[in-house]
Each structure stands twice: as structure tokens, then as C-alpha cells.
Amino acid sequence: MISVVAPVYNEGAGVDRFVRRMAEVLDGEDYELVLVDDGSADDSWSRIAAHAQTDPRVRGLRLSRNFGKEAALLAGLEHADGDATIVLDADLQHPPSVIPEMIRRWRAGAQVVEAVKRNRTGQSLGSRLGARVFNRAFTRMTRVDLVNATDFRLLARPALDALLRMPEHSSFFRGTSSWIGFTRETIEVEIDHREGGASRWTARSLFRLAVNGLTSFTSAPLHLVTLGGLTFAAFSVVLGIQTLVRWMQGHSVAGFPTVILLLLVTGTFVLLGLGVIGEYLARIHEEVRARPRYLVQEVTGLRSVDVPEQWTERAHQR
């Protein structure tokens, strides 16, 4: 059986479009749709529930509030029962027409099939550039390749089980699903324009995603702080010696602006360094608290083998 997991946040009529489209591309397959309502404020949940009533292949999971896409994905993955699980956005920006090919590759032996972007249409130059810079930096620092990566993936059961063993609180699906390894293949796709509504990401949530992604995969920024500190130390020694020599030669050292500038530069560096350390500290704090990564308020269309214990997440029980 094939599971399709999609996070839904205020997609409204998009839900109907999505369910219809899935029925088309998965025609003839034994499949289930796991739709995770990430605390939508619109009628997304009632639409999901309505589909679950009429179609036994549709299951709905309603989180108790908006936990963010990563948490919604995780909730869906933990509830998926398929031998292969496909993850894609509910807004149909990930072209569902690729799904049959993904399934073919899986049947031919691939454990992970990733869709990679050929283009980035429908995005502003700014966000394209931002994503590019972040992905390259991430790939360099972690050796997990994020350039052109998407969340649109197929994971075979062994790969998904491996992924779900990762206990970290703030997960980063794109990163962790690459980190696990396993035989993988890629398919190039065109990312479509969004049908209906605007992107659900705000600048703030994107920034959080980037910081989470980085801190969960690498401590390189911490080493950068150390490196910056060392550079400053070397610079100070050189400057100190120069000043001393000039003083002994009888020149008084001028340069009030230089002093101000140096203060500003060191101040900035110290604050940035503290910020980086703070991010890691916050992460540790979050992990130590070990709160559940999401909470389920309601389920619909779940199979009877799913007992309430499974509604909360597994990692929490460990």
C-alpha cells in the first residue's frame, strides 16, 4: 500500500482539489491519504472530515493548533501505514503527475525517491536568492545536499522507520530524510505556481526554519565564532605592536574615528557570537524539555488498530 502525507494549513477549497487530483494519479493503486490539518482557521478540517466520511482511503489528523509544516509532516509520517510513503504539499505546487514515476522507481528498488527542482517559478527574486544562499551554505557546512531539494519525496518503509527513529524536537524533513542515506534516486520536476492563496510562510517562519535546519545539522557556526575571535586577537596584537612602535618613535596616535569603528566592529561581532551560542543553547533547552512535537486534537477515518496511545508521538514515549 502507498501512503500519501500532506500538511494542510488554510487551504480551503484546495483540499478538494488535492483529494481529486490524488484519486486521478493513484488510480489503480492501493493507497491512503493522510491529511494533516495544521490548526487551520478556515474550513479545511470540515472538508477533510467530509472526504474521510465518503472515502475510506482518506484519513484526517487535526493538530490542536498551528505547529508548523515540519511538525505537521512528522504527525502525518508517524500515522502513515504504507509500504511506501509519499510526502507532498497540499497546494499542488509539487506536480502530482510525477507520482507514478516515483512509485515505479520504488518498485525497481529505490528506497528514497526525491523530486529536485529544475526551476523556481512563482517566487520573488529575493526569496529565490535567499533560498539559494541558504541551501549552498547548508550543503557546504553539513555535506547534506540541499541545493534544489524539495520536501516532495517518496520514502520506502525501511527508510521511513529510520527517519522516525530520530528523536529531535525540531525536525527538518529535507535534511533528515537525506541524512539517513539509503538507496536514493532523484527526479527533476518543475515547481508549479501556487493554485489559490498565497504562500503560508512568513519571513519569520522561514528564518526559524533556516536556523533550525542549521543548528540541527552542524555546529559549524560555533566554530566560526571561535575563528572570528582568533582573527580579532591576531589583529589586536599587530595593531598593538604598531601603536607601541609609533609611540616610541614619538608620534602620538591619532584616529578617533578608528576607535569608534573598531568598537562598532567588535561590538557587532560579540553580539553575533552571543546570538549564535544562544541559538544552540535554545535548541538544547528545547530538546531537554522534550515536549511532544505536536498534539492531535481529533482524528477521522483512522483505522481501528490505531489506539489512542499512538495519537501522541512515539519519541515522547521513549
Binding site residues, ligand UDP, CB under 6 A: 7-9, 11, 38, 66, 68-69, 72, 89-91, 93, 194, 199-201
Residue 93 lies near Mg ion (rule: CB under 5 A): yes
Q: Which amino acid is at 178?
A: S
Residue 21 or 157: the one with the smaller Cβ distance to Mg ion is: 21
In the complex, minimum distance from the CB of residue 14 to ligand UDP, in angstroms, rounded to a whole number: 8
Indicate which of Mg ion, ligand UDP, none lies near residue 66 (CB less than 5 to 8 Å, by partner kind).
Answer: ligand UDP
| 261/254 Cα distance (integer angstroms) | 14
Question: Residues 27-60, buried b or exposed e (16+ Cβ, 10 A)?
Answer: eeeebbbbbbbbbbebebbebbbbbbeeeebbbb
Give bridge partners of residue 153 from the DSSP assignment.
87, 114
Spell out the residues 6+ positions from residue 30 whose beta carbon is closer than 8 angstroms to its own: 1, 2
In the complex, minimum distance from the CB of residue 70 to ligand UDP, in angstroms, rounded to a whole number: 8
Residue 11 lies near Mg ion (rule: CB under 5 A): no
| 309/317 Cα distance (integer angstroms) | 9
Give bridge partners of residue 61 from the DSSP assignment.
36, 299
What phi, psi does 60 have (nearest 5°)? -120, 150
Residue 44 or 218: the one with the smaller Cβ distance to ligand UDP is: 44
| 31/15 Cα distance (integer angstroms) | 17
Indicate which of Mg ion, ligand UDP, none lies near residue 232 (CB less than 5 to 8 Å, by partner kind).
Answer: none
Residue 44 lies near Mg ion (rule: CB under 5 A): no
In the complex, minimum distance from the CB of residue 186 to Mg ion, in angstroms, rounded to a whole number: 20
Residue 9 or 45: the one with the smaller Cβ distance to ligand UDP is: 9
Indicate which of Mg ion, ligand UDP, none lies near residue 11 (CB less than 5 to 8 Å, by partner kind).
Answer: ligand UDP
Cα-based distances in Å from 28 to 2, 55, 292: 11, 15, 37
| 37/69 Cα distance (integer angstroms) | 10
Indicate which of ligand UDP, Mg ion, none lies near residue 200 (CB less than 5 to 8 Å, by partner kind).
Answer: ligand UDP
Question: Which is it for the CA torsion 42, 45, 48, 50, positive or negative?
Answer: negative
Residue 8 or 211: the one with the smaller Cβ distance to ligand UDP is: 8
Residue nearest to ligand UDP (CB): 200
Q: Residues 13, 87: contact at Cβ < 8 Å?
A: no
Q: Which stretch binds Mg ion (CB under 5 A): 23-31, 40-48, 90-98, 210-218?
A: 90-98
Residue 91 lies near Mg ion (rule: CB under 5 A): yes
In the complex, minimum distance from the CB of residue 146 to Mg ion, in angstroms, rounded to a whole number: 17
Q: Which stretch binds Mg ion (CB under 5 A): 16-24, 89-97, 266-274, 295-303?
A: 89-97
Q: Which stretch binds Mg ion (CB under 5 A): 1-9, 51-59, 86-94, 184-192?
A: 86-94
Q: Which residues bind Mg ion (CB under 5 A)?
A: 89, 91, 93
